[in-house]
Structure 1
Amino acid sequence: MDARNKIMIIGGHGKVGQYITRALRDQSLILVGRNEGKIRSFLNKENMQAKIYTMDIDAIDFTAVQHVFCVIVCVDQDNTKLVTYCDKHAIHYMDVTANSDYIEKIQQLQLSGNSNILLGVGLAPGLTNLLAKKFVQTHPFAKDIEIQLILGLGEKHGDAAIKWTLDNFIKDYSHKTLGKIRPYMKKSSVMIHGKKLRTYNFNFVDQHMLNRAYQDKSFTTYLGFDQSRITALIYGVKMIGFLQLLRYKTFYGIVETFFRNPKFGSDIFIASIQSQGHVLCAIGHDEGRFTGLIAGEVAKRFVGMDLKGGLLGIADVISLDEVVENEMFGLASASE
């Protein structure tokens, strides 16, 4: 097979990357990571064949990249050298990161449009963006739109996701209409099955992506948990300034351990779009599994589609109806 037909997956043996690798098992793959043994162990377990390349995402060997037609990144990175290289050399690029700062960096690049650059393919961003698109189509005159995200405390989240969340509890961010804002200060709520769950503003990148896409609207993302008392506790601790203790390693470690080894709560997740009494929501379980499955499905479509080129979002590859109607994802949806 021509080397130009190969797909490089960086972190393809990780928590989300495994789903993508399985979805693309019929393709000619190159799996990249820092630990050859872990990659080989994964391939043996899955009874799969792929070329293995040992490389750190922070020290890219571009000679290994130049002969592939698509790069899929499943690990966090700080600089945009790889996506810039892919854009310049007509190599398609997909990134599963939910890191707000990094996606903002990519969106500010002057891309040539030589390749397809796909971002935001998980829960938030991802499913929330699909819900928002459908909501705007149904309610075109809505202006101030809330994105509500409820996460189950009973699910074991990955280390990177926990670290990102804790870091963003104490990090101010900029919002299209609210300006410079502190996280977990602006209150809202979502009604699910007759139960009111409180939420507070948080720096998920979906709101920034949507605010770029819809110039006449303002999206704000709110985060809460399935255990309202924990959401309230976090808010209270934030108000008296105790969350600033996350800047200290010992306290950070205690909170990190709590989220890594949950003792109560469920694995539910809820994504809801609401404005002026109108609601469109999706409910599922096991956010990690959902993120992996949707990333895998999107990757499979992405590598086989003839797309417009340039910066793309999940809605360019799959629709909300296709996700909800596919039993594999296990979603229930509702609207008011």
Structure 2
Amino acid sequence: MREEQTILIVGGYGHVGTRIARRLIDRRTGAVVIAGRDVDKASQAAAQLGCCASTIDLSDPCHWEHALADIDMVVVCIDQDEVAFASFALSRGLIYIDVTASDDFFRKVEQLEDLARVNRGCAVLSVGFAPGLTNLMVKACAERLDRVHNAAIGIMLGLGDDHGPAAIAWTLNRIVAAEQSSKVVELPFGLKRKKHPALAFDFADQHVLRRTLAIPDTATYLTFDSAAISRLTFRALPLLRGRVAAVPILTSLLSRMRFGSKRAALSITVTGTRKGEPWSVTTLYEGQREAEITAEVAALAVERVLSVRPAAGVHHLETLMKLDDIAAQLHDEGGMTHLSEGRCCPPFIG
């Protein structure tokens, strides 16, 4: 194997892909190749970043053999419904990292475990802000307990942040599809632990953690940086449910509008027992710009996997790393974490 590893970033000219590429190039992690269907966009991004470009269409297998020649790792930054490309990469013994947030997709990739092992390929999933950092924070809390009963994951997104159109559409589609009975709870965010209303939401991390950490009672909640706007939005949900046609319009509108902050925060509470007593552990994260945090977590995952290659198979981030492995780097990026625990655990909100 060559001394310098070559990393193909599919969707490398997109909202998150360019941020991952910039970090890997600045840190000289490996030889980065920007790839996608649009050769002009790939070439332009590569020229700006100072790396190479390539063309690949994940919907056309004819592109794959050539695009993956001399590639050691593939980082995919676009959503996929099927796993044909992941299967192709793993069958060639490559490292495959995906920043998608779809548990349906995760479950399909997990079915490639045997294929990956036979061909010495390695897939790493749940790489980003949520899932990803959320998974590591739940693990950090759970490890302080003798027995875990449940976990609550709160995710705060800033309305003034530069969210990509794909991320906005993804969130809106899940809001439109949310069940009528989706509950709203109050969760603490920030070092001042200010309470925000948060909506039970179908993020992938809760499903993944039930499988990887065996915490069956896990729930994820969504809120925005403005408590007032969050309450108003959640009260208006009945008007949005089922209105799929409204998603493109709202996506276009929200992609152009900026109001609120660029805040990105997490509130994790895991309850259980320690030394026979009921115990609660809470970890809070406070940062800025969700896409930047996703890119940082992904870049750190790339560095870790290249330096200490995991066993062949399909992995989620929390099975390979701990929060302590990346805490210092997140702090350097402006993020802050705070952990508190105590005997008198609050009633679980899941």
TM-score (norm 1): 0.87
Task: Give the fraction of aligned pairs with identical amino acids, expressed as a percent.
Answer: 27
Once the two structures are superposed, residues 113-166 of structure 1 have per-residue CA deviations (whole angstroms, 9 ceiling, x without a partner) of 221100111110010001011010012323121011111111120011001101
SS of the residue corresponding to residue 33 of structure 2 reads: strand
Mapped partners of 2:283, 2:162: distance in 1: 27
Aligned partner letter, 1:270 = A
Alignment correspondent of 1:178: none
Alignment correspondent of 2:172: 166
Deviation (angstroms), 1:279: 1.3
Mapped partners of 1:39, 1:137: distance in 2: 43
Alignment correspondent of 1:259: 254
Aligned partner letter, 1:246 = R
Count of aligned pairs between the two proteins = 321
Of the three residues 185, 189, 200, the one matched with 1:188 is 185
Name whichever of 320-329 and 263-272 sits farther off.
320-329
Alignment correspondent of 1:177: none
Mapped partners of 1:285, 1:266: distance in 2: 9
Alignment correspondent of 2:224: 225
Aligned partner letter, 2:124 = L
Alignment correspondent of 2:12: 12
Of the three residues 142, 145, 149, the one matched with 2:151 is 145
* Conserved 8 A contact 2:200-2:220: yes
Deviation (angstroms), 1:4: 10
Mapped partners of 1:184, 1:268: distance in 2: 28
Matched, 1:56 2:57: yes
Aligned partner letter, 2:239 = F
Mapped partners of 1:160, 1:57: distance in 2: 17
After superposition, residues 207-246 of structure 1 pair within 5 angstroms as 207-238=206-237, 241-244=238-241, 246=243
Mapped partners of 2:127, 2:244: distance in 1: 30
* Conserved 8 A contact 1:58-1:77: no
Deviation (angstroms), 1:104: 2.7
Mapped partners of 1:35, 1:62: distance in 2: 15
* Conserved 8 A contact 1:183-1:200: no
Mapped partners of 2:88, 2:321: distance in 1: 26
SS of the residue corresponding to residue 147 of structure 2 reads: coil
SS of the residue corresponding to residue 298 of structure 2 reads: helix
* Conserved 8 A contact 2:142-2:270: no
Instruction: Give structure 1 regions of 4+ aligned residues with deviation exceeding 6 angstroms.
Output: none
TM-score (norm 2): 0.84
After superposition, residues 14-163 of structure 1 pair within 5 angstroms as 14-25=14-25, 26=28, 27-46=30-49, 48-50=50-52, 52-60=53-61, 61-64=63-66, 65=68, 67-112=70-115, 113=117, 114-163=120-169
Of the three residues 322, 333, 346, the one matched with 1:329 is 333
Deviation (angstroms), 1:95: 0.7
Cα distance change of structure 1 residues 145 and 317 upon mapping to structure 2, 3 Å threshold: closer
Deviation (angstroms), 1:230: 2.0
* Conserved 8 A contact 1:149-1:270: yes
Instruction: Structure 2: state its 5+ residue gaps.
Output: 272-279, 341-350
Deviation (angstroms), 1:183: 7.2
Once the two structures are superposed, residues 237-289 of structure 1 have per-residue CA deviations (whole angstroms, 9 ceiling, x without a partner) of 22xx31136322xx334422443234421111111211455311111111111
Deviation (angstroms), 1:234: 2.3
* Conserved 8 A contact 1:147-1:222: yes
Deviation (angstroms), 1:9: 1.8
Mapped partners of 2:166, 2:58: distance in 1: 15
Deviation (angstroms), 1:303: 2.4
> Aligned-residue CA RMSD in angstroms?
2.4
Aligned partner letter, 1:189 = E
